[in-house]
Amino acid sequence: MPKFAIKRVLLQGGASGYLQTKNVLDRLSDVPVDQVDGIEPVTSPYEREMGKDTLCLLPYKGRFFKPCPGTNKYICCGYQILNVATNCPLDCSYCILQAYLKQPYLRVFVNLEEELEHVMRVIDMQPESIFRVGTGEFTDSLAIDPFTGWSDLLLPLFSSRKNAVLELKTKTKQIERLLRSKYRERIIVSWSLNSPYIATHEEHGATDLRGRLEAARQCQSEGFTLGFHFDPLIAHPKWKEDYLRTLELMDKYVDPKGIIWFSLGSLRFMPEFKGIVRKRHPKTRVLDGEFVMGLDRKMRYFKPIRIDLYAFIRENLEKWHSSLGLYLCMESDDVWQKGMGWSPKDNAGLKQFLDRRVAAFFH
């Protein structure tokens, strides 16, 4: 089980009638359970308590499957989100969910199994399209897998489809259920990485870098395809030397030929995020840089800083291996050109680039 503790479970909105609820409660049999009518939204984000030790089980009434929201101001990759839960048991100081989520607790949607039939129908109706699907937009894909059992549900469905891949993105080493599964084809296990300084001081509750890479090595040895994400890259004193330490660790643990893609993104946040982080993480250093409002109304590093971050990481990753599927998340054409040495020009171009990676890895 994970190193963080679930102290109580809340059942909301008829959750008790679902099979997934029964399975979760069986795995958390020693945790007290309460029935609730609803959860009050938090009105003041500056007083927000995330309630990360409480698991709220409820049926989700929105769309389970939808495109990454992105923005038309920057180049987006055409990712598809499978919305299995919101909130995360980890407590990274830079996490945008602190400002985005209006309700507390780890909210797990127990009608996922019933809704997956519709999701698969959408995928099957477009056999000529490639669906790159992830569950890590609003939660960690694997952190609470030991008691949600998401991998048991999802791996068989995605492994059997030739026009989709499933990416499970994490900062943990919760891979036990994955390794017990017999399914490997078209499953990408990805780790979010950062510099040792940021991982130690800002990624609270996450597995340390060495532990993440040990888990990645184990998954790779068991036949899984790997992905990695440096997002957000954070400028801090001696960041170049510090990120090089992470790249040196990667070289010790994983074979770069088995990496399907590696995304780079820089710290960005909504203006109200700054006050929330100062309140919840008073010792943080992630807000110390120079920021300006971007075209998407989010605060970003000045463009020369972003270009320097991307160019340095790209050059050193390319020394390690020439074909890692490097791409930028939510950046403009000129930043692509200056930081990466090329640009996909638009959303369609980036989608084609990543779809070709899928075709090359999964024949």
pLDDT above 80 (res 196): yes
In a domain, 198, yes or no: yes
SS3 at position 260: strand
Indicate whether 81 belongs to any domain: yes
pLDDT at 47 over 70: no
Higher pLDDT, 302 or 48: 302
pLDDT digits (tens, 9 = 90+) for 229-277: 999 999 999 999 999 999 999 999 999 999 999 999 999 999 999 999 9
Q: Is 272 among the domain residues?
A: yes
* pLDDT tens digits, 201-229: 999 999 999 999 999 999 999 999 999 99
Band of the pLDDT at 1, cuts 50, 70, 90?
very low
Domain holding 132, by residue range, is 64-90+112-361
Torsion sign over Cα 47, 11, 170, 309: negative
Partners of 166 in the β-ladder:
133, 187
Total number of domains in the chain: 1
Amino acid 38: pLDDT: 77
Residue 178 burial (CB < 10 Å; 0-12/13-18/19+)? buried
> Whats the size of the chain, residue-wise?
363
CATH number for the domain including 339?
Answer: 3.80.30.30
Q: Is residue 221 part of a domain?
A: yes
The verdict on residue 228 lying in a domain is yes
Q: Look at residue 7 and tell me if it is in a domain.
A: no
- Residue at 104 is within a domain: no
The chain-wide mean pLDDT, for the chain, equals 94
Distance CA 170, CA 189 (A): 8
pLDDT tens per residue across span 94-128: 999 998 888 889 999 999 999 999 999 999 999 99
Task: Determine the pLDDT at residue 42.
Answer: 57
pLDDT tens for residues 291-347?
999 999 999 999 999 999 999 999 999 999 999 999 999 999 999 999 999 999 999
pLDDT for 36 equals 92
Cβ–Cβ contacts within 10 Å for residue 288, how many?
11
Q: Is pLDDT above 60 for 46? A: no
**Strand ranges for 61-208 from DSSP E:** 65-67, 80-82, 85-86, 91-92, 106-109, 131-134, 164-170, 187-192, 203-204
Residue 48 lies in a domain: no
